Structure 1
Amino acid sequence: MNTLVLIFSIFTLPSFLTSTEAVVWLFTYCPNTTTFTPNSTFQSNVNRLLSNLSSNANRSSNGFYNVTVQTTNNAVYGLFLCRGDVVGTDACGTCVANATAVARQRCPVEKRVVIWYDECMLRYSNESFFSTVTDWPGLYMRSTQNATDPTFQFNKVIEASVNQAASEAVGDADKFGTNQANVTGLISVYSLGQCTQDLSAMDCNRCLRRAIALLPGCCYGRLGGRYVFPSCNVRYEVYPFYAQNASSAPEPAPGPPPPPLPPPKGKSKIPTSTIVAIVVPISASVLLFVVGYCCITRRAKYKYNEAAADEPSGENDITTVESLQFDFATIQAATSNFSDDHNGYMSPEYAMHGHFSVKSDLYSFGVLVLEIVSGKKNSYFFQTDPAEDLMIHAWKLWRDGTPLELLDPCLRDSYSRTEVIRCIHIGLLCVQENPADRPTIQSVILMLTSYSVTLPLPQQQAFFLRSRAVGNMSEATLDSAQSINKSSPSVYEGSITELYPR
């Protein structure tokens, strides 16, 4: 992110697609949030659209086709995109035909569908998405094999190669670009970038750069990886996974430096003056370091003792864990009888039992996160129930699968769906009732900075001084991968498929 050694035990060099070769299914996305009634006018329009797409796949000259089937209040918008190197082959038509069959089988009543294959992508919806960048949902796949040291060199070559492929795609009329770059004399990286052809060059570039920016978190250091959006995708491998253009051969890698000349036979003599010139400065440096360290240590110890002598010792000094524990009466007096002005950020184990730990601060942090997202303070938060605070309200929305309803109305016109949901998720993890279930601050930092980290499901949040409890959340409601995927992630060619819920 010595000679670079890459492992090829999983991958084999594939022969390119022919008319008889099977296409490779990757993922199906069709959430059941918007559905239609079977045997309705909308279903009839979907069937007409799928037949239209399938019949035009073999006739398309550029591997892309979009169409609208519309009747009153029942419009369906759809398109397909074939990988640029399979355009003009039977593989494009075969892939689209398979995708339409999968749509009918796995998404029989869903209105929004995206199906990815290795060779094509098919998409349709009841809302128009033409000429619009769509980066949700996101799907990444990566090889199970790592590049051996030095990974920095390998990652540097990947970054340059995928960026070059993206630049070629932006400037290409069919929005398709590839690149081959050398890692060593024997190992090359093959990269691909592609957008749907209804996008402008600016939107294509924006989509591809977004996908490339997410590659390091999921795939760098692996022998292969890709990031796929409905509007664009990028991919790299250490084998030629696309049909190559003979004119795009890479520049040869520089050869290894010549080996050093062997020393002359016999004993070589080093002059005494050279030995003295080397040993004396080293010895002097070591001596000065030791003397300086001793002086600094003694000075620090003297200052510490002097400060300790000046500071009186009292019964209120915090010297042990027990000194952080207080009885109920003390806590009640300090919080003005648990006034809402004081207990909004205090962890329940500290407020009720005087038990304090590093996880108590994580609780307060979680409350602050939920306040920032909602634009409301926990101490003065009231919805339908006067006894309901911000955390209970956020928990109910999360449990019901509608976390975005917590968002401050002032932000409704400009926000990132993924970031808001992730912040709410992290906030609920921090306010869990059991301190052991709360994450560490190091884990929170990693969750906020890396989308490749899988977040655990939050348990019931902590709340106290309340007369009602909130039931346990259904795991099936909150698992985003389960709710939008009707089949388990696929594993092929040693790669792991994961849905990236942005």
Structure 2
Amino acid sequence: MGLPRNPFWFLPLFCVILTILHLTPHSKSADDFTTIVYKGCAKQTLSDPTGAYSQALSSLFGTLIAQSSKAKFFKTTTGNGQTSINGLFQCRGDLSNVDCYTCVSKLPILIDKLCGKPIAARLHLFGCYMLYEVSGFAQISGMEMLYKSCSGTNIGGSGFEEKRDTALSSLGNGMSSSNGFYTTSYESVYVMGQCEGDVGASDCVECVKTAVQRAQVECGSSIAGQIYLHKCYISYSYYPNGAPKRSASASFTSPSSSSSSSSTPSGPGPNTGKTVAIILGGAAGVGFLVIFMLFARGLVKKKDGKCG
């Protein structure tokens, strides 16, 4: 059977395959620990005519990034006297050293982009956070709420809030012997809590229990929520089909930037789109190869026919 006379007969098929690949959702892992959660930027900008503050801040960032390759929490001071700057970073307790470094390395650039150079700034990514403040900056209570996110509506049916409250209660109890980071689950409700690295055990438990109470009040029947206090934060997520397996750098949900998001953590795993893309990409590659071989074969036969 000969090829169609139109030399571009394969273009419609080519366009169809490209359209399928274009419409295939790109993989966006829900456990991306570099997702921005929130920022806090002081209104007052650094007055730095001599450049002393900028030098101290640059030194602070460099020290924090260097330490993030071997520690999950580090706190230090750079500069001298009135130009000294206090700062710290902390990574989520289940991140590897490599992921911690990757996460923390992004923070100084993002702080500069989102805040400029204020006298104090704090930026939380899903896997880590960093803060700095000039010497003498007004301190706030460790229990002060900095940010909340309540996502989705109650699709858990009757008894969901009881399940969530039981899971959150277990979180509060578990923090007492967790070294500042604890995760657990109950009846498809996954919870996580972490305290700042220099907070004592009793203060950590008190902070987390306060955050739990705020979550119950602020998020109501939402199926996912995050509460960030100054010295600790918690999150919970409901998975009616069971929580997905975790990896060293994984978590079950990314905090939404909106407190009224309609998205839910349930559904196919984060790699589904990637798998489909790989399958379609392989099929497309085979299709292109077959088309090319048929086209080349037709040209050879046409050439032989002319020579015969």
Q: TM-score normalised by the shorter chain: which range applies?
A: 0.5 to 0.7
Q: Distance in 1 between matches of 2:262 and 2:47?
A: 35
Partner of 2:210: 210
* 2:187 paired with 1:176: no
Q: Structure 1 residues 228 and 38 mapped into 2: Cα distance closer, same or farther (>3 Å)?
A: farther
Note the 1:381-392 alignment, pairs <5 A.
none
Please name the residue that 1:363 is paired with.
none
The whole-number CA distance in structure 1 between the counterparts of 2:76 and 2:160 is 42
Instruction: Write the distance in 1 (CA, Å) between the matches of 2:260 and 2:105.
Output: 23
Summarize the Cα distance change of 1:32–1:238 in structure 2 as closer, same or farther, 3 Å threshold: same
Which of residues 88, 105, 112 in structure 2 aligns to 1:104? 112
Tell me if structure 1 keeps the 8 A contact 2:35–2:126: yes
- 1:425-466 CA-to-partner distances (Å, cap 9, x unmatched) read xxxxxxxxxxxxxxxxxxxxxxxxxxxxxxxxxxxxxxxxxx
In structure 1, what residue type is equivalent to 2:82? N
Q: Alpha-carbon deviation of 1:22?
A: 6.4
- Cross-structure match for 2:90: 81
Letter in 2 for 1:53: L
Give distance in 1, aligned partners of 2:103 and 2:262.
20
Q: Which residue of 1 aligns with 2:277?
A: none
Q: CA deviation at 1:208?
A: 1.1
Q: Does the residue aligned with 1:58 lie in a helix, a strand or coil? A: coil
| Distance change in 2, residues 1:28/1:67 (3 Å) | same
Q: Does 1:37 align with 2:48?
A: yes
Distance 1:43 1:77, change over 3 A: same
Matching residue's letter, 1:43: S
Any conservation in 2 of the 1:65–1:79 contact (CA below 8 Å)? Answer: yes
Q: Could you say which residue in structure 2 is the equivalent of 1:194?
A: 194
**1:397-426 deviations in whole A, cap 9, x for unaligned?**
xxxxxxxxxxxxxxxxxxxxxxxxxxxxxx
Distance (Å, rounded) in 1 between the aligned partners of 2:126 and 2:78 = 27
2:132 to 124, 127, 142: 124
Gaps of 5+ in 1: 1-12, 183-187, 246-488, 497-502
Change (3 A) 1:145 1:56: same
Greater CA radius of gyration, 1 or 2?
1
5+ long unaligned stretches in structure 2: 1-26, 249-255, 264-308
Q: 1:44 aligns to what SS in structure 2?
A: helix
* TM-score, with structure 1 as normaliser: 0.41
- Asked which structure has the greater RCO (Cα within 8 Å, sep 6+), the reply is 2
Correspondence for 2:70: 59
Structure 2-normalised TM-score? Answer: 0.65
- 2: CA distance, partners of 1:127 / 1:139: 24
Residue 154 of structure 1 aligns with which residue? 160
Q: Does 1:243 align with 2:227?
A: no
1:429 equivalent in structure 2: none
Q: Work out whether residues 46 and 53 of structure 2, in 8 Å CA contact, stay in contact via their aligned partners in 1.
A: no
Distance 2:206 2:244 in 1: 25
CA distance in 1, matches of 2:136, 2:75: 11
Q: Is the 8 A contact 1:162 1:193 kept in 2?
A: no
Quote the RMSD (CA, aligned, Å): 3.1
Q: Look up the SS of the partner of 1:86 in the other structure.
A: coil
> 1:250-329 counterparts in 2 under 5 A?
none
- Check conservation: 2:146, 2:228, Cα contact below 8 A: yes
